[in-house]
C-alpha cells in the first residue's frame, strides 16, 4: 500500500485513517454485510485500522474511537453509519475530545442512503456501502484541519408576530433580561387567542387570561412593541441581524386616552375584521376593548381624507387631547438583533372554496371563528348565539368537522389539530347557555389526544351532544325558513341521513399565512409540503430554523393549540436565550479559501455571492472575503473559472477524489449525485427514514449547497465514464443560501447546451429540486434515471469520456 505524505504545519505527516463501520443494531447490518465492508475498508489507501461495531454512536463506540486515535496515532477518522445530518456533531465531538481537529472527520451515510433504501438487495447494498466508504476515505485523505471563527452575538432579540406565541416568547426573553423588539402587523397584539371566547379543555375565558399578558408586554421596560408594523428587510447572519421595520402611521398619537369620543362622530363605517365582519367599526377605531397598544388608529383606506385632501375633521374636533395627527408618515426603523423568533401564526381556511357547504351564500352557515365572536359576551350579539338570517336563537345546531383539513380534494391534506376540541368546547358552551339545544357533530375522527381532552369529549357526550360519523356531502337551504338540510352518509351505520337544522357551524382548519413566502425569503427559511415553516430537525431541534439564530413559535411552524403555542414559545425563547447568554457562536469553517496567485480580479465571485461577503478591490486587483458574513454555500468557488477559490472542507480536490472513487469501477452503470445538505440530501435521508426503495446504483456526494457544484465536477464524472449525473438542490426560492441555487440552474442549463453541441444525450445530466420532506420525489427521480442509464449505449459513454477528457485537459 502506498503511503502518501501530506504537508502540514508540523511538517510532513503520514496519513493514518481509522474506519468504523456501524451495524446500528440491524438497521444497517440487516441489509449490509458490515464485516465485509470493514474488511474492504482495510484495503484502502491510508487506512491503518478498520473495524465494524454494533453502535458507533454509543458511549463505548465513541470511547473506542478516542482510544484508537491515541493508541494508533490516527489523524483522520471515517465513520460509516447514519446521516451526517444526525451524528456528525457527535463524532466530531469525540474526535475533538481525543485531540483531533474535528474537520479531520468524515462520515459515510450507509443507513439512510443505503441500508434503508435497499432493504431487499443485500449484495447491492453491501457493494454500495463499500463505494460510499471508499468515497469517504478518498475525501478524508485530503481533509485539512480548520479553525472555526467566533462571531459575537448581539444580546437583543426580534420577535415577529404578537399572537400568544409571540407574546410569551417576548415576555420570557425580556424577563431573562434581554432587549426585545416585538413586531405585529395588526394594530393590536393578541392574535387569534384574543378573538376566541373560551379555551379548551379548561373553559377559561380566553381574553381574560390573555389580556394581562398583553398588558405586560405593553408595559415591560425591555420590550419595544412595534404594532401596525411589518418587517421589510433582514440582513446578516446568526448573532448579527440587521432589521428594517416599516412602522405604518396610526394617525393617532400616544396622547390618546382611548375615550372613544372620536368614534361617535366618525361618519364612515365598515365591517370589523376582529369580529370576523359580524360587527361594524368606524374609520377611526380600536379593534377591541383590551387592545394593546390602546391607542386608536385611523384606517386610511376608509377615511374621507384618504386622498390627501382634508375633507373631514370631525374626529380632530372631538378629541380633547389633540391626539389626532393626519400628518403622520410611515417610518422605517432600523436596529440590530442577535436572534430572531418567527411567531407569525396561521390563516384560517375560507370555506367558500367548498361550494357544497354554501358558505357565503346561506346566511346561517357560519365558521367556527364567527361562532367565537357570536358566543363572546363582548361580541356583536352580546354573547347570544343568533342566526344571522333572523337574529333568533337556534334550536338545532350542526357542527361540520374537517372543513379544509384532511382532504385531498378540497383544502389541505393535514389535520389542523385544534378543530375537534374547539367544536367540543363550543358544543358545551351552547349547552351551558341553552341546555335544550340539539347539537349534532358530523366528524371523520374525533381526536381528543391531549391532557384533559378525553374528559371534555365525554362530558359533551353526557350532555347529549350527538356525534355522527360522516361529513355531509351537501348543505341545502330551505328558502322560506332559511333552515338547512344536511345530507350525507352515516358511515358507522351505513345509512344516509338528511338532517334539518337551524344553523350549521363549519369547523374550519388552519393554513399557512398567505404571505409566508415573504418571511421565507427575508429569513432564508424552508417550508414543508404543507407550507408551514420547517424546523431544523422534527424531533431533536423542533423549534430551531435551519438558518442559525432563528427559532419558531406557534402556528407558523404547524397548527397547534394555545398550550402548545405557549410551550413552543417558551422553548424558542430558551433556545434564543442560550445563544445570547453565551454571547458568541462559532461558525462552521466552510468558508472560501482563495489562491490570489490565480485570481484575475474578474469579479465573477462577487456577483454570485448571496451574502455580499466578497468584494473586489479594484486598486489592488484582488478580492477580499468577509468570513463572518459568509454563509458557506461555496457558489463562489463553483463560479471561479481560474481555480482561485475553493471551499474549506469541500475543496475541488476532495470532491474530485470522491468522483474518482465512485467511477473507479463500473462507472457506466452508476449515477453520480450531487445533493445539497439542506434539501436534496435531507430529502434522500427522508426517503431512507420512510424506507422508500430505489435503485442502488446512485452515489451521493454531499455539498452544502447545489451552488457548489462546479461544471468541472460534472465534466470529471462524464470524463471518467459515469452513466449519469444528478445535481439536486432546494426548490427555487427555498435555497438556504438566499438564491445560490439560481446559479446551479444556470450552470446546469449551460451544461445541457454544451452536451447538445457535442452531440451527447443531455438526459444523462439531470437537475432536481427536492425539499427535505420530498423523499418520494428524490426516490422517483433515481428510478427515472435508472431507466435512462439502462438505455445508454456504451458508445455514448465513450464519446462522453472523449469530449470531457479533452475539455478537462484543455482547461
Partner 1 sequence: MPVRLWRTPLDAEKVKLPKAEIHIFKDQCKGCGFCIQFCPKKVLEESEEINAGGVHPPKIIDESKCVICSFCTSVCPDFAIFVVEKPCKKGC
The C-alpha cell that represents 590 in the structure block = 466552510
Q: Which is nearer to partner 1, 385 or 755 (CB)?
A: 385
Residue in 503, 467, 464 with CA at minimum distance from that of residue 367: 503
How many angstroms separate the CA atoms of 137 and 646, rounded?
Answer: 20
Looking at 19-27, 106-114, 265-273, 424-432, which segment touches partner 1 (CB under 8 A)? 265-273
Is the preceding omega at residue 76 within 30 degrees of 0, hence cis?
A: no
The kind and range of the H/E element at 685 are: helix 680-689
- Binder among 7, 147, 307, 495 for partner 1 (CB under 8 A): 307
The C-alpha cell that represents 446 in the structure block = 374525533
Min. distance of Cβ 360 from partner 1 in angstroms?
Answer: 5
Min. distance of Cβ 313 from partner 1 in angstroms?
Answer: 8
- Binder among 121, 216, 350, 438 for partner 1 (CB under 8 A): 350
How many angstroms separate the CA atoms of 695 and 688, rounded?
Answer: 13
- Residue labelled with grid coordinates 380600536: 286
Min. distance of Cβ 509 from partner 1 in angstroms?
Answer: 13
Min. distance of Cβ 572 from partner 1 in angstroms?
Answer: 23
**793 is an interface residue for partner 1 by CB under 8 A:** no
Looking at 266-274, 333-341, 421-429, 620-628, which segment touches partner 1 (CB under 8 A)? 266-274
How many angstroms separate the CA atoms of 408 and 420, rounded?
Answer: 19
Answer positive or negative: Cα dihedral of 181, 187, 188, 191. negative
**314 is an interface residue for partner 1 by CB under 8 A:** yes
HEC readout, 180-209: EEEECCCCCCCHHHHHCCEECCCCEEHHHH
Looking at 5-13, 48-56, 347-355, 544-552, which segment touches partner 1 (CB under 8 A)? 347-355
Q: Which is nearer to partner 1, 313 or 478 (CB)?
A: 313
The C-alpha cell that represents 188 in the structure block = 393590536
SS3 of 358, please? coil
Min. distance of Cβ 518 from partner 1 in angstroms?
Answer: 14
**355 is an interface residue for partner 1 by CB under 8 A:** no
Q: What is the DSSP letter of 465?
A: P
Min. distance of Cβ 753 from partner 1 in angstroms?
Answer: 44
- Binder among 30, 218, 260, 363 for partner 1 (CB under 8 A): 363
- Residue labelled with grid coordinates 432564508: 524
x/- track of binding to partner 1 for residues 563-592 (CB under 8 A): ------------------------------
Q: Which is nearer to partner 1, 148 or 347 (CB)?
A: 347
Q: What is the DSSP letter of 309?
A: S
Q: Which is nearer to partner 1, 374 or 644 (CB)?
A: 374
How many angstroms separate the CA atoms of 443 and 420, rounded?
Answer: 8
Looking at 215-223, 309-317, 564-572, 763-771, which segment touches partner 1 (CB under 8 A)? 309-317
Q: Which is nearer to partner 1, 385 or 705 (CB)?
A: 385
* DSSP track, 612-674: --EEEETTTTEEEE-GGG-----HHHHH-TTS-EEETTB-HHHHHHHHHHHTTSSGGG-EEEE
Residue in 736, 243, 339, 335 with CA at minimum distance from that of residue 575: 339
Q: Which is nearer to partner 1, 288 or 713 (CB)?
A: 288
Min. distance of Cβ 279 from partner 1 in angstroms?
Answer: 5
- Binder among 45, 260, 383, 388 for partner 1 (CB under 8 A): 388
Site for partner 1 in 506-525 (CB under 8 A): 514
Beta bridge partners of 245: 231, 333
Min. distance of Cβ 203 from partner 1 in angstroms?
Answer: 24
**380 is an interface residue for partner 1 by CB under 8 A:** yes
CB 291 within 8 A of CB 212: no
Min. distance of Cβ 159 from partner 1 in angstroms?
Answer: 19
Q: Can you say how many angstroms the Cα of residue 759 is from the centroid of all Cα atoms in its chain? A: 41
CB 175 within 8 A of CB 216: no
Q: Which is nearer to partner 1, 229 or 741 (CB)?
A: 229
Min. distance of Cβ 331 from partner 1 in angstroms?
Answer: 23
How many angstroms separate the CA atoms of 661 and 655, rounded?
Answer: 10
Q: Which is nearer to partner 1, 347 or 796 (CB)?
A: 347
Site for partner 1 in 220-259 (CB under 8 A): none
* DSSP track, 587-600: EPS--EEE-GGG--
Min. distance of Cβ 517 from partner 1 in angstroms?
Answer: 14
The C-alpha cell that represents 107 in the structure block = 462520515
Question: ∠ CA 455-502-463 to the nearest 5 degrees?
Answer: 20
- Binder among 209, 316, 348, 593 for partner 1 (CB under 8 A): 348
- Applying CB under 8 A, what is the total number of residues that bind partner 1? 35
Min. distance of Cβ 389 from partner 1 in angstroms?
Answer: 11
Min. distance of Cβ 147 from partner 1 in angstroms?
Answer: 49
Min. distance of Cβ 227 from partner 1 in angstroms?
Answer: 14
301 burial type by CB count under 10 A (0-12 exposed, 13-18 middle, 19+ buried): exposed
Q: Which is nearer to partner 1, 381 or 507 (CB)?
A: 381
Count the neighbouring beta carbons within 10 Å of the beta carbon of residue 77.
28
**272 is an interface residue for partner 1 by CB under 8 A:** yes
Min. distance of Cβ 353 from partner 1 in angstroms?
Answer: 10
Min. distance of Cβ 363 from partner 1 in angstroms?
Answer: 7
- Binder among 25, 360, 452, 464 for partner 1 (CB under 8 A): 360
CB 525 within 8 A of CB 316: no
- Binder among 273, 445, 478, 653 for partner 1 (CB under 8 A): 273
x/- track of binding to partner 1 for residues 176-215 (CB under 8 A): ----------x-----------------------------
- Residue labelled with grid coordinates 428587510: 233
How many angstroms separate the CA atoms of 366 and 506, rounded?
Answer: 6
Contacts with 574 (C-beta within 8 Å, 6 or more apart), sequence order: 172
Is the preceding omega at residue 201 within 30 degrees of 0, hence cis?
A: yes
**274 is an interface residue for partner 1 by CB under 8 A:** yes
- Binder among 175, 347, 627, 784 for partner 1 (CB under 8 A): 347
* DSSP track, 396-448: EEEEEEEETSS-SSSS-SS--SSHHHHHHHHHHHHHHH-TT-EEEEEES----
Looking at 307-315, 438-446, 470-478, 548-556, which segment touches partner 1 (CB under 8 A)? 307-315
**311 is an interface residue for partner 1 by CB under 8 A:** yes
Q: Which is nearer to partner 1, 379 or 688 (CB)?
A: 379
Q: Which is nearer to partner 1, 6 or 265 (CB)?
A: 265
Distances (CA, A) of 402 to 385, 453, 486, 530, 719: 22, 18, 15, 16, 55
- Binder among 259, 312, 593, 689 for partner 1 (CB under 8 A): 312
Question: ∠ CA 380-382-383 to the nearest 5 degrees?
Answer: 105
Min. distance of Cβ 406 from partner 1 in angstroms?
Answer: 21
Q: Which is nearer to partner 1, 419 or 679 (CB)?
A: 419
Looking at 41-49, 306-314, 521-529, 736-744, which segment touches partner 1 (CB under 8 A)? 306-314
Residue in 715, 686, 666, 770 with CA at minimum distance from that of residue 117: 686
696 burial type by CB count under 10 A (0-12 exposed, 13-18 middle, 19+ buried): buried
Site for partner 1 in 275-304 (CB under 8 A): 275-280, 304
**535 is an interface residue for partner 1 by CB under 8 A:** no
The site for partner 1 (CB under 8 A) is made up of: 186, 267-269, 271-280, 304-307, 309, 311-312, 314, 347-348, 350, 352, 360, 363, 369, 380-381, 386, 388, 391, 514
Amino acid at each position: 500500500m502506498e503511503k502518501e505524505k501530506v504537508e502540514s504545519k508540523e511538517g510532513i505527516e503520514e496519513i493514518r485513517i481509522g474506519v468504523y463501520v456501524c451495524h446500528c443494531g440491524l438497521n444497517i447490518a440487516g441489509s449490509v454485510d458490515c464485516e465485509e465492508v470493514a474488511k474492504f475498508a482495510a484495503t484502502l489507501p491510508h487506512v491503518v485500522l478498520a473495524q465494524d461495531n454494533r453502535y458507533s454512536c454509543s458511549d463505548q463506540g465513541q470511547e473506542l474511537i478516542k482510544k484508537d486515535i491515541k493508541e494508533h496515532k490516527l489523524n483522520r477518522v471515517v465513520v460509516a453509519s447514519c446521516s451526517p445530518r444526525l451524528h456528525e456533531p457527535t463524532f466530531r465531538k469525540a474526535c475533538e475530545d481525543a485531540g483531533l481537529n474535528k474537520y479531520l472527520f468524515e462520515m459515510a451515510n450507509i443507513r439512510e442512503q443505503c441500508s434503508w433504501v435497499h432493504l431487499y438487495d443485500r449484495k447491492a447494498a453491501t457493494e454500495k456501502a463499500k463505494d460510499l466508504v471508499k468515497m469517504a476515505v478518498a475525501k478524508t485523505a485530503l481533509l485539512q484541519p480548520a479553525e472555526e471563527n467566533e462571531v459575537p452575538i448581539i444580546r437583543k432579540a426580534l420577535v415577529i408576530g404578537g399572537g400568544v406565541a409571540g407574546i410569551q416568547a417576548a415576555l420570557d426573553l425580556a424577563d431573562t433580561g434581554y432587549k426585545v423588539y416585538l413586531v405585529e402587523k395588526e394594530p393590536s397584539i393578541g392574535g387569534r387567542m384574543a378573538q376566541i371566547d373560551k379555551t379548551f379543555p379548561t373553559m377559561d375565558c380566553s381574553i381574560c387570561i390573555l389580556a394581562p399578558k398583553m398588558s405586560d408586554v405593553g408595559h415591560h421596560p425591555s420590550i419595544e412593541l412595534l404594532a401596525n408594523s411589518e418587517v421589510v428587510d433582514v440582513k446578516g447572519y446568526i448573532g448579527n441581524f440587521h432589521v428594517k421595520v416599516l412602522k405604518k402611521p396610526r394617525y393617532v398619537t400616544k396622547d390618546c386616552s382611548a375615550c372613544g369620543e372620536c368614534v361617535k362622530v366618525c361618519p364612515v363605517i365598515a365591517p370589523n375584521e376582529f369580529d370576523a365582519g359580524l360587527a361594524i367599526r368606524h374609520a377611526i377605531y380600536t379593534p377591541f376593548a383590551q387592545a394593546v397598544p390602546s391607542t386608536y388608529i385611523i384606517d386610511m383606506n376608509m377615511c374621507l381624507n384618504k386622498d390627501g385632501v382634508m375633507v373631514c375633521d370631525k374626529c380632530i374636533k372631538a378629541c380633547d387631547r389633540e391626539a389626532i395627527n393626519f400628518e403622520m408618515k410611515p417610518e422605517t426603523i432600523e436596529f440590530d438583533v442577535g436572534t430572531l423568533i418567527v411567531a407569525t401564526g396561521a390563516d384560517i381556511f375560507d370555506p367558500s372554496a367548498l361550494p357544497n357547504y354554501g358558505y357565503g351564500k346561506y346566511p346561517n352557515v357560519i365558521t367556527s371563528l364567527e361562532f367565537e365572536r357570536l358566543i363572546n359576551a363582548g361580541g356583536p350579539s352580546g354573547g347570544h348565539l343568533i342566526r344571522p338570517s333572523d337574529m333568533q336563537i337556534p334550536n338545532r345546531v350542526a357542527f361540520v368537522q374537517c372543513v379544509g383539513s384532511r382532504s385531498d380534494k378540497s383544502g389541505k391534506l393535514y389535520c389542523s389539530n385544534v378543530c375537534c376540541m374547539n367544536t367540543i368546547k363550543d358544543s358545551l358552551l351552547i349547552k351551558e347557555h341553552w341546555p335544550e339545544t340539539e347539537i349534532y357533530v358530523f366528524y371523520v375522527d374525533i381526536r381528543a389526544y391531549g391532557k384533559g381532552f378525553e374528559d371534555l369529549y365525554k362530558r359533551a357526550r353526557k350532555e347529549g351532544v350527538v356525534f355522527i360519523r360522516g361529513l355531509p356531502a351537501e348543505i341545502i337551504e330551505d328558502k322560506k325558513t332559511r333552515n338547512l338540510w344536511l345530507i350525507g352518509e352515516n358511515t358507522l351505520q351505513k345509512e344516509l341521513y338528511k338532517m334539518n337544522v337551524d344553523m350549521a357551524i363549519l369547523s374550519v382548519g388552519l393554513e399557512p399565512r398567505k404571505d409566508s413566502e415573504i418571511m421565507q425569503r427575508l429569513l432564508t427559511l424552508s417550508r414543508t409540503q404543507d407550507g408551514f415553516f420547517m424546523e431544523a430537525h422534527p424531533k431533536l431541534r423542533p423549534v430551531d430554523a435551519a438558518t442559525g439564530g432563528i427559532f419558531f413559535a406557534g402556528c407558523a411552524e404547524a397548527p397547534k393549540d394555545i398550550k402548545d403555542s405557549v410551550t413552543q414559545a417558551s422553548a424558542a425563547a430558551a433556545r434564543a436565550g442560550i445563544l445570547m447568554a453565551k454571547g458568541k457562536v462559532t461558525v462552521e469553517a466552510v468558508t472560501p479559501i482563495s489562491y490570489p496567485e490565480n485570481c484575475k480580479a474578474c469579479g465573477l465571485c462577487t456577483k454570485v455571492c448571496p451574502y455580499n461577503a466578497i468584494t473586489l478591490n479594484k486598486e489592488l486587483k484582488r478580492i477580499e472575503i468577509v468570513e463572518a458574513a459568509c454563509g458557506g454555500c461555496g457558489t463562489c468557488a463553483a463560479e471561479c473559472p481560474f481555480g482561485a477559490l475553493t471551499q474549506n472542507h469541500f475543496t475541488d480536490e476532495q470532491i474530485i477524489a470522491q468522483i474518482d472513487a465512485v467511477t473507479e469501477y463500473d462507472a457506466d452503470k452508476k449515477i453520480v449525485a450531487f445533493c445539497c445538505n439542506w434539501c436534496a440530501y435531507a430529502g434522500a435521508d427522508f426517503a431512507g427514514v420512510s424506507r422508500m426503495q430505489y435503485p442502488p446504483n446512485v452515489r451521493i456526494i454531499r455539498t452544502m449547497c447545489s451552488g457548489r457544484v462546479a461544471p468541472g465536477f460534472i465534466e470529471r464524472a462524464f470524463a471518467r465514464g459515469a452513466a449519469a449525473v444528478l445535481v439536486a438542490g432546494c426548490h427555487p426560492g427555498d435555497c438556504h443560501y438566499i438564491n445560490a441555487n439560481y446559479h446551479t440552474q444556470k450552470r446546469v442549463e449551460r451544461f445541457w447546451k454544451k452536451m447538445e453541441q457535442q452531440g451527447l444525450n443531455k438526459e444523462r445530466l439531470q437537475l432536481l429540486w427536492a425539499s427535505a420532506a420530498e423523499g418520494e420525489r428524490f426516490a422517483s427521480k433515481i428510478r427515472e434515471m435508472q431507466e435512462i442509464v439502462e438505455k445508454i449505449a456504451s458508445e455514448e459513454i465513450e464519446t462522453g469520456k472523449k469530449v470531457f477528457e479533452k475539455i478537462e485537459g484543455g482547461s
